[in-house]
Amino acid sequence: GAVVSQHPSWVICKSGTSVKIECRSLDFQATTMFWYRQFPKQSLMLMATSNEGSKATYEQGVEKDKFLINHASLTLSTLTVTSAHPEDSSFYICSASGGFNTGELFFGEGSRLTVL
Amino acid sequence: AQKITQTQPGMFVQEKEAVTLDCTYDTSDPSYGLFWYKQPSSGEMIFLIYQGSYDQQNATEGRYSLNFQKARKSANLVISASQLGDSAMYFCAMREGFSGTYKYIFGTGTRLKVLA
């Protein structure tokens, strides 16, 4: 299947700093990328949808100034958690859709963010 | 209202036995897709099986089959001959919308434990 790579897998940062997470589709062009947040033992919560070259569409309740999403190319989307605080600690996982017949989502490995 | 409902927070199954994980969905779109993903403790999301709303036959992928009952809006996952490595969290998901505007909604998940 198609491959999506997410980096970094783990990140620990101090409160008040910003953290950037990258999501790359390695062998297909991802027209749409999705960013999810997952709390322990809970489901995936969609944060935003981004299409290449346009602004991301954020879900209700997600602060767009807090979680900056950039989808600069068909193979790269980034999520920047700005001025991170301990409550932002979570598992963030990206996924990409390449317009395949099934519309299948391909997921990155996820990034576990811990804000001290 | 929940669009994807997984009523079993946790399930146990004996190794080599079959197990069914329940999923019901709610949509008014005539065209939609249903997916099952497996999430082991490492966190990555692994695609298992897909069923399109117009597919006449139930989807099968190796030991996985999807029991699609459209009138009842259910899409249960059947795992045959369970293996210890099947122990994981399982998410049912639905894709709504049209190509380019897809939205993916996940259920709350079922944690499966395979017993030796």
pLDDT in tens, A29-88: 888 899 999 988 889 999 999 888 788 999 999 999 999 999 888 899 999 999 999 999
B85: helix, coil or strand? helix
By C-alpha distance, the chain B residue nearest A38 is B43
How far is B75 from B51, CA to CA, in rounded Å? 8
pLDDT in tens, B66-111: 999 999 999 999 999 999 999 999 999 999 877 667 888 999 999 9
Looking at CA atoms only, how far is residue B107 from chain A in angstroms?
A: 7
pLDDT of B49 over the 70 cut: yes
The predicted model gives B31-53 an average pLDDT of 93
Residue A102 to residue B33, Cβ atoms within 8 A: yes
How far is B18 from A44, CA to CA, in rounded Å? 26
Average pLDDT, chain B: 93
pLDDT of A15 over the 90 cut: yes
Return the residue matching tokens 């033992």.
A41
- Residue B8 has a pLDDT of 96
- Residue A116 has a pLDDT of 96
Reading phi first (left if > 0) and then psi (alpha if -120 to 50, else beta), residue B97 is in left
Residue B99 to residue A103, Cβ atoms within 8 A: yes
